[in-house]
Amino acid sequence: MTPIPQGKKHRFEKVYPFFMMILFLLPIFSLAAGPKKKPAKESTEIPKELQTPETKLGETGPKESLPLSALEYKITGMFKTDFAYANNSVLSFGFDNLVAPTMAKRQVQARDSESRSGIYPTSSLLGTEITYGTKLKGVFEADFVDVSKSSAGPETKARVRQIYFKYTPNPSLEIFLGRTWDLFAGVFPHSFNSSAFMSATGNVGWQREQIGAWYKLGKFKFGTAIGTTGFHNDPQVKINVERNSMPTVAVRIDWFPTPTLMFTTSALGTKLKVSDPYTDTTRDGSFLHYDPSRQDPNATPISGLLQKESNKRTNLAAGGVSFGFTWKWGPLESKGEITYGANLNSVTASGISPFQSTTYGNEITDSQWGFLSGGYFNDAKASTRTKYNSPREVTGFLSFNYEVTKQFGIGIHAGVSRVTNPEVLVGADYNQLTISRSDSFQWTSNPRVMGALRENHDYGFRMYYDPDERVRFFFQTDLFRTFYKDVDRYSGQSAHIASYDPVTGAGELRDPGNKYVRASALGEAYSVRLGGLFRFDP
């Protein structure tokens, strides 16, 4: 086989993602525009109800056009306000607030143990649905949640939740384009915290920009979609998302053995570009590409190899699989889902830990061998080369609703999310745990202070009462138990060793301190939500 020249190969790599996307979309549009039966000879007479002044004069117009009355508008949404209370600090994706709590915060600030409360109308929804005939439908929906703010003040801005349209050329096929609920892990637990309930253990309230299709076949629904890799699971603006040239690719199968039971399974995958030295601004002033002729005359084969390696892009595989169900039996309704994957925080709300970026030196220092000081260990600690680790995680939730009467109901829910390889996580620095941190957002998300999140639990109970149609008052309580990673060397016997040289056999001991004065690796918080809502959907 004739090898591809280097220049052409580089251009081929750039075109490859677009080529794969075209292959992905061709079956969708071929189904939509598939072979049609030759229509029978139609009468040129126009029904009276479709006649316009022009057609009455003999102008028949396009045969496929619909009357203007086929364009319909519908306002959707709800007004919702709730009072929220927590006995300790809770976090919404690294920010300390009660707007949409997802986990308990580890106590690293003196005020973390103080109770807090607030009133939040920001999870109210406002949207519209526009339909044209029976084949076209567009949806827009917004709320006013900003998890980076601890209060619902006038600075709160609208946040787009959904904006998409779907085309249904026939009863079996549906094509959708826009921002809507993620095709992956799409079972939604019951909750009154509709913005972020259990978002660490289920796809709730989070969306993705997608282009995809559903196809119905008997009791099955098959779905597939491509989407953006930058996901809306934190308040920070995602920049350079488009530089991840490979989109997410998702597939899903729903099975309806009975009208009240559904089983679903889905998978999602992509490659995340987490390092791109070719375009990093820190390389400005250096050569754009590796060229041996421009090497330092004193360069060695090792330095040349390192330069070539530094010019390579770093990509990490991300994705997972999910299994879920929904079941309704009389007044009882249940939902559940399990997901497993790696680096999911970047591509789905089920993740609790993104990829970990460390250096070899920090990795050795943080490990249980960090007290070693001789030979290889000194060299390893001196290395600043970045290493990317991929946490693997399993998540799951289960929720029940029971309709006691037409006006009163109760429910329970539970969710767990856990990293299965916590050894790759960044641990909290022992020296940071005994001092109260300053009141700044950096302390709520810096793993050197709090430790990376390795496990999160949420257990809750809720009830509701509907005194009138479209009006609901509710009560919900949640217990969050969140576990953070500590540096390995500060546990067990290694906590007593200050340093040790394996070559000379000499070492020093230390007093590890009273563990009871250190901040616990477990953050625990109890929260209550009490409020009401008015749903004005038709």
Amino acid letter, residue 204: V
- Mean pLDDT across the chain: 79
Measured CA to CA, the distance from residue 346 to residue 315 in angstroms comes to: 13
| Cβ–Cβ under 8 Å, residues 366 and 355 | no
Going 215 to 30 to 243 to 146, the CA torsion angle's sign is negative
Q: CA dist 408 to 297, 403, 464, 475, Å?
A: 82, 6, 6, 12
pLDDT band at 197 (very low <50, low <70, confident <90, very high): very low
pLDDT band at 50 (very low <50, low <70, confident <90, very high): very low
Measured CA to CA, the distance from residue 139 to residue 164 in angstroms comes to: 6
Is the pLDDT assigned to residue 303 strictly greater than 70?
A: no
Q: What does DSSP say about strands 159-170 and 507-509: parallel, antiparallel, or unpaired?
A: unpaired
- Which pLDDT score is estimated for 21? 54
The torsion angles phi and psi of 508, rounded to 5 degrees, stand at: -130, 145
SS3 (DSSP) at 334: strand
The pLDDT of 45-59, averaged and rounded, is 35
What is the secondary structure of 358-381 as a DSSP string?
Answer: EEHHHHHHHSTTTTB-STHHHHHH
- The model's pTM is 0.80
Give tens-digit pLDDT for 64-100.
566 766 899 999 999 999 899 999 999 876 778 887 7
Measured CA to CA, the distance from residue 114 to residue 352 in angstroms comes to: 25
- Which pLDDT score is estimated for 279? 72
Structural domains of the chain ordered from first start: 71-289+309-357+386-535 (2.40.160.10)
Measured CA to CA, the distance from residue 252 to residue 226 in angstroms comes to: 12
- Which pLDDT score is estimated for 122? 84
The pLDDT of 206-233, averaged and rounded, is 88
SS3 (DSSP) at 443: helix
Q: What is the DSSP letter of 234?
A: S
Structure tokens at 324: 């879920």
The pLDDT of 43-48, averaged and rounded, is 40
- Which pLDDT score is estimated for 358? 85
Is the pLDDT assigned to residue 219 strictly greater than 60?
A: yes
Is the pLDDT assigned to residue 57 strictly greater than 50?
A: no
Measured CA to CA, the distance from residue 141 to residue 399 in angstroms comes to: 26
- Which pLDDT score is estimated for 64? 57
Q: Which residues pair with 249 in a beta bridge?
A: 226, 269
The pLDDT of 402-424, averaged and rounded, is 92
The pLDDT of 111-125, averaged and rounded, is 90
Is the pLDDT assigned to residue 304 strictly greater than 90?
A: no
CA dihedral 420, 232, 479, 187 (to 10 degrees): -80
What is the secondary structure of 509-532 as a DSSP string?
Answer: E-----GGGSPPSEEEEEEEEEEE
Measured CA to CA, the distance from residue 145 to residue 100 in angstroms comes to: 8
The torsion angles phi and psi of 70, rounded to 5 degrees, stand at: -75, -15
From 246, 447, 457, select the one nearest 353 (Cα to Cα): 447
Is the pLDDT assigned to residue 425 strictly greater than 70?
A: yes
CA dihedral 185, 187, 193, 196 (to 10 degrees): 0
Structure tokens at 393: 């995680």
Is the pLDDT assigned to residue 271 strictly greater than 50?
A: yes
Measured CA to CA, the distance from residue 204 to residue 189 in angstroms comes to: 7
The pLDDT of 438-467, averaged and rounded, is 83
Give tens-digit pLDDT for 344-376.
766 655 667 777 888 888 888 888 888 898 888
Q: CA dist 367 to 461, 485, 490, Å?
A: 40, 12, 9
Measured CA to CA, the distance from residue 183 to residue 267 in angstroms comes to: 9
From 537, 403, 535, select the one nearest 472 (Cα to Cα): 535
Q: CA dist 360 to 357, 383, 501, 532, Å?
A: 10, 6, 19, 52
Percent of the chain with pLDDT over 90: 32
Q: CB count, 10 Å around CB of 159?
A: 16
Higher pLDDT, 199 or 225: 225
Measured CA to CA, the distance from residue 221 to residue 186 in angstroms comes to: 13
